[in-house]
């Protein structure tokens, strides 16, 4: 299979590597030779690490031999079966690119975007055959993260959805279907709620940053606390994705902590200071979080809005409960899916917690979803 990857940055170089590892002939495009050479070096480095860990089925040189780079879009898109677009999250840029891809790529090729927040339907509008435009939302780093959210636009056809699922499998990934291109899809919506509520509990004086992170890590078994994760990935990354989701109708009042940090340039590990302080900017260092600090945190309050969001996704037909649980396990590393966590805590407690958060903030997003209310009344379980 001939594959084109447009944009060779954080996500693009990783997707190109996955495609080459799966046996595809890959052409990568970017705006300069220098950036393309850098991407090739990053892929070479990643392959050598995978080789050291015994994770390669083939030697790195033969994988590399399937990768070409080219600044000409015309050459890169010629004769491809699939295009992966991984350019920055700017609507104009993506639209411009899809218009060109529509002209240059074969008419039956799949046109996939890795966008985190732009509706697929909006991108598909500039293409003659919108049925072939789809979201294939890989997670960072694509080489290691097992999940791909397959996002349908209004006009994406079943045929291309199936093709995207097959490709994900070929790349060794687990696909989760997102039937409507709601801002943030599944994982970022659930995460946005968890992070914002973590922040609300701190700013309303109910608890501390360390207590929240401790409860999430040591009582719920999450790989990182909410603030620790923000520092790790970059507070700017989350702040900007959540802003983009809000601009597209995701209802979330801003809890000020993230914005303050973003405006001060205290972005986490990369700047040496975020919600925690690190000995050296840019160098990974685990935040110090005590196991006891989270003992008194109310878990139902902490996760209730994330569970309410997952229930909204089910009621709106965006995804199935099983897929939402798979997405939160695979995309966020939770030991149980977010709905499974809700069932374990008890949906009545989740609803009570939402009502308390609503009283505390007067924010409508804490209103218990009508499906949650039904579940509580009937005692039914979402499976």
Ligand X SMILES: NC(=O)c1ccc[n+]([C@@H]2O[C@H](COP(=O)([O-])OP(=O)(O)OC[C@H]3O[C@@H](n4cnc5c(N)ncnc54)[C@H](O)[C@@H]3O)[C@@H](O)[C@H]2O)c1
Instruction: Indicate the burial class of 156 (C-beta count within 10 angstroms; 0-12, 13-18, 19 or more).
Output: buried
Q: For ligand X, which stretch binds (CB under 6 A), given 81-89, 306-314, 317-325, 354-362?
A: 81-89
DSSP 219: I
* Contact status: 86 vs ligand X (CB under 6 A): yes
* Contact status: 181 vs ligand X (CB under 6 A): no
Question: What Rg value do the Cα atoms of the chain yield, rounded?
Answer: 21
Q: Which H or E run includes 137? A: strand 133-138
Cβ pair 178, 186 in contact under 8 A:
yes
Q: How far apart are CA 208 and CA 73, in angstroms?
A: 50
Q: How far is CA 235 from CA 3, 262, 309, 323, in A?
A: 33, 6, 22, 27
Q: For ligand X, which stretch binds (CB under 6 A), given 74-82, 87-95, 158-166, 368-376?
A: 87-95
* Contact status: 11 vs ligand X (CB under 6 A): yes
* Contact status: 29 vs ligand X (CB under 6 A): yes
Total residues in contact with ligand X, by rule CB under 6 A: 22
Q: Is 174 in the active site?
A: no
Of 3, 24, 87, 120, the one binding ligand X (CB under 6 A) is 87
Cβ pair 300, 352 in contact under 8 A:
yes
Q: For ligand X, which stretch binds (CB under 6 A), given 2-10, 154-162, 264-272, 287-295?
A: 2-10
Binding mask 137-176 for ligand X (x = CB under 6 A): x-xx------------------------------------
Name the residue nearer to ligand X (CB basis): 31 or 251: 31
Q: Is 149 in the active site?
A: yes
| Residue 129 C-beta-side C-alpha neighbours within 13 Å | 16
In terms of phi and psi (left: phi > 0; alpha: psi -120 to 50; beta: otherwise), the region of 221 is: left
* Contact status: 74 vs ligand X (CB under 6 A): no
Name the residue nearer to ligand X (CB basis): 222 or 232: 232
Q: Of all residues in this chain, which one has the CB nearest to ligand X in the complex? A: 9
* Contact status: 89 vs ligand X (CB under 6 A): yes
Q: For ligand X, which stretch binds (CB under 6 A), given 24-32, 277-285, 342-350, 374-382?
A: 24-32
**Helix-, strand-, coil-residue percentages of the chain, each rounded to 5:** 55, 10, 35
Q: Is 362 in the active site?
A: no
* Contact status: 6 vs ligand X (CB under 6 A): yes
* Contact status: 31 vs ligand X (CB under 6 A): yes
Of 3, 5, 7, 216, the one binding ligand X (CB under 6 A) is 7
Name the residue nearer to ligand X (CB basis): 29 or 198: 29
3-class secondary structure, 251: coil
* Contact status: 8 vs ligand X (CB under 6 A): yes
Per the document, the length of the chain is: 383
Q: For strand 133-138 and strand 147-152, is the pairing parallel, antiparallel, or unpaired?
A: antiparallel
- The residues pairing with 277 across neighbouring beta strands, listed in sequence order, are 273
Q: How far apart are CA 326 and CA 329, in angstroms?
A: 5
Comparing C-alpha atoms, which of 237, 241, 14, 249 is closest to residue 145?
A: 14
- Among candidate residues 8, 109, 116, 196, the one labeled active-site is 116
- Among candidate residues 149, 228, 309, 340, the one labeled active-site is 149
* Contact status: 9 vs ligand X (CB under 6 A): yes
CB of 139 to ligand X, least distance (A): 6
* Contact status: 115 vs ligand X (CB under 6 A): yes
Q: Catalogue the active-site residues.
A: 116, 137, 149, 188
Residues near ligand X (CB under 6 A): 6-12, 29-31, 35, 86-89, 93, 114-116, 137, 139-140
């Amino acid at each position: 299979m001939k594959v084109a990857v447009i944009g060779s940055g954080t996500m693009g170089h990783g997707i190109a590597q996955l495609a080459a590892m799966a046996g595809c002939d890959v052409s990568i495009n970017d705006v300069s030779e220098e950036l393309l050479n850098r991407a090739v070096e990053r892929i070479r480095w990643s392959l050598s690490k995978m080789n050291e860990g015994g994770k390669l089925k083939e030697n790195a040189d033969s994988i590399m031999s399937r990768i070409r780079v080219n600044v000409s879009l015309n050459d890169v898109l010629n004769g491809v079966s699939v295009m992966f677009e991984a350019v920055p999250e700017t609507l104009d840029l993506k639209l411009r690119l899809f218009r060109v891809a529509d002209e240059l790529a074969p008419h039956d090729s799949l046109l996939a975007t890795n966008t985190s927040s732009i509706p697929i339907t909006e991108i598909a509008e500039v293409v003659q055959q919108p049925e072939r435009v789809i979201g294939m939302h890989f997670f960072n780093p694509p080489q290691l993260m097992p999940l791909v959210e397959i996002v349908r636009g209004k006009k994406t056809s079943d045929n291309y959805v199936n093709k995207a699922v097959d490709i994900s499998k070929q790349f060794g990934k687990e696909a989760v279907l997102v039937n409507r291109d709601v801002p943030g899809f599944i994982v970022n919506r659930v995460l946005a709620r968890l992070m914002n509520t973590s922040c609300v509990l701190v700013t309303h004086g109910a608890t501390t940053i360390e207590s929240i992170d401790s409860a999430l890590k040591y009582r719920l078994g999450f790989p990182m606390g909410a603030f620790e994760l923000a520092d790790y990935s970059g507070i700017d990354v989350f702040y900007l994705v959540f802003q983009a989701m809000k601009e597209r109708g995701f209802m979330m009042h801003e809890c000020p902590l993230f914005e303050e940090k973003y405006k001060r340039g205290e972005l986490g590990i990369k700047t040496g200071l975020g919600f925690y302080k690190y000995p050296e900017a840019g160098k990974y260092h685990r935040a110090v979080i005590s196991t006891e600090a989270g003992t008194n945190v109310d878990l139902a309050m902490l996760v209730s809005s994330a569970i309410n969001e997952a229930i909204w996704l089910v009621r709106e037909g965006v995804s199935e409960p099983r897929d939402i649980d798979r997405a939160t396990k695979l995309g966020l590393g939770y030991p149980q899916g977010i709905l499974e966590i809700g069932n374990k805590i008890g949906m009545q407690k989740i609803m009570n917690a939402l009502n308390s958060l609503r009283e505390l903030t007067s924010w409508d997003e804490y209103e218990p979803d009508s499906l949650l209310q039904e579940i509580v009344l009937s005692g039914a379980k979402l499976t």
